[in-house]
Structure formats: C-alpha cells, structure tokens
Amino acid sequence: MTKDQFYRLVNSPFRFGLYLLWKLPAAWFMGVSVTSCDREKAVVHLPYGWRSQNPFRSIYFAAQLSAGELSTGVLVLAAISGERPVSMLVTDIKAQFYKKANQPLRFTCEQGLEVNAMIQEVITTGESRQMTLHSTGRLPDGTPASEVWVTWSFKGK
C-alpha cells in the first residue's frame, strides 16, 4: 500500500472503522476514530460515553492511552507504507492527566515529518532507532485534559 492509499484509508471513516474492527477491536468498541491524518499530524477523536467511561463519570485512562497511542501509530503506519519492511514496537508509554475528561477528547500528534525522517534513516542505515512521540488530548474548549508519550522502536527487516 502506498502512502497516498494509506492516507485515503485512514481518512475514510467507514473504511478505517472496518480496519479498527479487524485490527484494534477495543479501540473500535470505544468509538475511537481518526478525524484527520496527513504527513504532518494526526487527530483522533475519543467520544465520552458508556463505552469509554469509568465509574467516576469521566473517560477511562486506558481509553485515553488508546486514543493517544493511535494518534502516534497512524503517523508511523503512514511513514512505513510503501517502504521496505520495518519492524515497529511500542516500548514505553507514559501519560499525564490534568483535568477530568467528562466530554469528548481530541488527541493530536504533530510529529509526522519527524517520523518520516526517522523511518527513512532506519531504512537507509538498517540500524535500530527509538523515537518518543507526543500526543495531547484536548477538551472541546481546547483545554488539555491529558498528554501521552509513546516510545516506538524501529528496525529494518
């Protein structure tokens, strides 16, 4: 699959919904969806509802981690699309929670260009590399509710 084909897939709510159902059924169940994805950034929507809620009437921390990880993961998947095979693995994940998330959240990762450069370096050198990607989950008014840092490990096959 080329990069353009991947961007069309990820930006199609129906097609990417089927992809989530197949590959990440828990994220699909929670209602996580990609709002937009391009070379520079990815935006993921996490609804507030019974499927993503904890007993304290806020979005469960694991749902927030899932949406944050997905916002970084689609950028990684886009970067390796159409390239020589590259292994990828999440090696660390950290989060900080600032505000009660009792409304939908939008997680944004704006490191797409850095990811593309890293993948090209891994393909060129064949060496393993690690990169930490950052995603911020914001409430509808723009207030940060949480931040997620996902460390990815890459290795050329």
- Identify which of 103, 46, 85 has the alpha carbon closest to the alpha carbon of residue 69: 46
3-156 fold? Thiol Ester Dehydrase; Chain A (3.10.129)
Q: Where are the alpha helices (DSSP H) in 1-157?
A: 3-10, 13-23, 25-30, 61-80, 112-125
Residue 1's pLDDT is 83
Residue 40's pLDDT is 96
Q: What is the pLDDT along the chain (157 residues), one digit of tens a residue?
A: 888 999 999 999 999 999 999 999 999 999 999 999 999 999 999 999 999 999 999 999 999 999 999 999 999 999 999 888 999 999 999 999 999 999 999 999 999 999 999 999 999 998 999 999 999 999 999 999 999 999 999 998 8
Q: Where are the domains of the chain?
A: 3-156
Q: Is the pTM of this model over 0.85?
A: yes
Question: Whole-angstrom Cα distance, residue 104 to residue 47?
Answer: 4
Question: Whole-angstrom Cα distance, residue 77 to residue 88?
Answer: 9
First to last CA, the chain: 17
Question: Whole-angstrom Cα distance, residue 118 to residue 79?
Answer: 9
